[in-house]
Chain A
Amino acid sequence: MPTHASMALLVCEQCDAAHRKSQLEHGELARCARCGARLERAQRLTPGGMLAMTIAASILFALANLYPIVSVDVRGAHGVSTFWGAILASWNAGSASIAVLAALTVFFAPLAELLAAGYVLWPLARGRRAKHFGGAMRLLRLVGTWSMPEVFLLGAIVALVKLGGLATVIPDAGLWAFGALTWLITLVTSFDHRWLWDIATGAEA
């Protein structure tokens, strides 16, 4: 089965309408003429720039998981909790399902995203294509839906406010790291997969 000759077309993923591809200027956005969905956005970053973002996000990810999110004081009793401390406590308290859900969506999915993005981008920044490029790209798409650090950040703020009436609560380094991570990981993973595929097609294996 031959590949369709005309790479000059762009098909809307939301409604199947075919459009003639046009060259987008920096920061421009193309919308579907029929359903209004986003067709294509001109990429702001090169693969090298995205790799730098991925590395920065990975450092923040480590900090967010290692440092306490918050410290709490109740009548002299003092406690700190990391993300993993909270997960383990939920597990031990008999709610395995929320421990697993939170670990998957706030730890494992973002971790897989960062690893896969780094694996794909490291060679691509040098004009080469990773050996398992296709598999890593599929993994990126698969876990992207389940990666929710931004929701966790809001959840942490709500939890802090709820505790505020009961105890003295001080946000800690882990929380700030989560905040910055949320912003960076959104930048890293919001790229157009088709764009990266097109670059990789031109690159040697």
Chain B
Amino acid sequence: MSAVATARELGILPCSDCGLLCRAAGSSEPLACPRCGSTLHARRPNSVVRTWAFLLAAAILYVPANVLTVMRTDSLFGSEDHTILGGVVELWNDGSWDLAVIVFIASIVVPILKMLALAVLALSVQRRSRWRRHERARLYRMLDAVGHWSMLDVYVVALLVGLVRFGGVAEVLPGPGIAAFGIVVVLTLLSSMSLDPRLIWDEPDARAD
């Protein structure tokens, strides 16, 4: 046994919904928590497979999300198509460099890093790696904390469409790219929710460790 005893080693099943510590009986049937009724799982079921499935779907949709138009502006001066990256450049050129940085981080850096990080975590767990567990655990917690901020662009487009409705003078229309982008954000959230961070620690330490 390692220096730290785990619930699994102690024969305890913590309920993921209410936190009640239950005794893991030897039966193979799934047990229900006596306090809240949730099904008890030592680890999230099919964690790695689900993580990959959502992640792959997100990665595929990420291409149309960035290539397609997210928003089209029609005004007296003509009409213009905007992409995610284009929106950042416009903010920068208009002098709002601070917001440009925020949008760049939320819309481009976070989704890319999140998908890469999920791939690294899923792969390392699959290979039962002992490599840099602390850093990987911290990476997972960071994903949890920042993932939903990528929804930013969906709100920006919805608001601009709602606010700029001056028939003939100016109009903003949503493009197909923003729908793909919104779905990418949802899929990456589902992917990180599927990944069980406890798997990072399940491989026992090497004796020399």
Interface residues of A (CB under 8 A from B): 1-4, 6-7, 9, 11, 13-18, 33-37, 69-70, 72, 74-75, 77, 79, 81, 85-90, 93-95, 97-99, 101-102, 105-106, 134, 137-138, 141, 145, 148, 151-152, 154-159, 161-163, 165-167, 193-194, 197-198, 201
Q: Is the CB of B37 within 8 A of A72?
A: no
Least CB distance, A53 to chain B, in whole angstroms: 22
Task: Please report the C-alpha to C-alpha distance between residue A137 and residue B75 in the assembled complex, in whole angstroms.
Answer: 49
Q: Contact size class for B?
A: 35 or more
Q: A18-B4, A166-B75 are in contact. List 9 more A-B contacts (CB 8 A).
A: A13-B16, A35-B137, A79-B166, A98-B179, A105-B151, A137-B18, A154-B106, A155-B151, A163-B163
Which residues does chain A contribute within 8 Å of B14, judged by CB atoms? 11, 13, 16
In the complex the two chains form, what is the Cα distance from A153 to B132 in whole Å?
A: 36
The A-B contact count (CB < 8 A) is 213
Please determine whether A161 and B19 come into contact, CB atoms closer than 8 angstroms.
no
Which residue of chain A lies nearest to B20 when distances are taken between CB atoms in the complex?
A3
In the assembled complex, 13 residue pairs joining A and B whose CB atoms fall closer than 8 Å, in A order, are: A1-B22, A1-B23, A35-B137, A79-B165, A81-B159, A81-B163, A97-B183, A148-B151, A155-B151, A155-B154, A159-B156, A194-B19, A197-B36
B136 CB to closest chain A CB (Å) equals 9
Kindly report which residue of chain B lies nearest to residue A104, judged by CB atoms: B186
- Docked-complex contact B152 and A155, CB < 8 angstroms: yes
From the candidates A6, A88, A151, name the one contacting B152 in the complex (CB within 8 A). Answer: A151
Closest to B201 in A: A15
Complex CA–CA separation, A71 to B174 (angstroms)? 20
A37's partner among B137, B155, B158, B169 (CB-CB below 8 A) is B137
A1-B22, A93-B174, A155-B159 are contacts. A14–B137 as well, Cβ < 8 Å?
Answer: yes
Q: Within 8 Å CB of A99, what residues of B? A: 158
B161 contacts partner chain A, Cβ-Cβ < 8 Å? yes
Per the 8 Å Cβ criterion, residues 59-96 of B in contact with A are 75, 87, 90-91, 94, 96
Measured CA separation A98–B160 after assembly (Å): 12
Quote the shortest CB–CB distance from B146 to chain A (angstroms).
Answer: 11
Partner among A18, A36, A69, A97 whose Cβ is within 8 Å of the Cβ of B159: A69
What are the residues of chain A within 8 A of B31 when measuring CB–CB? 1
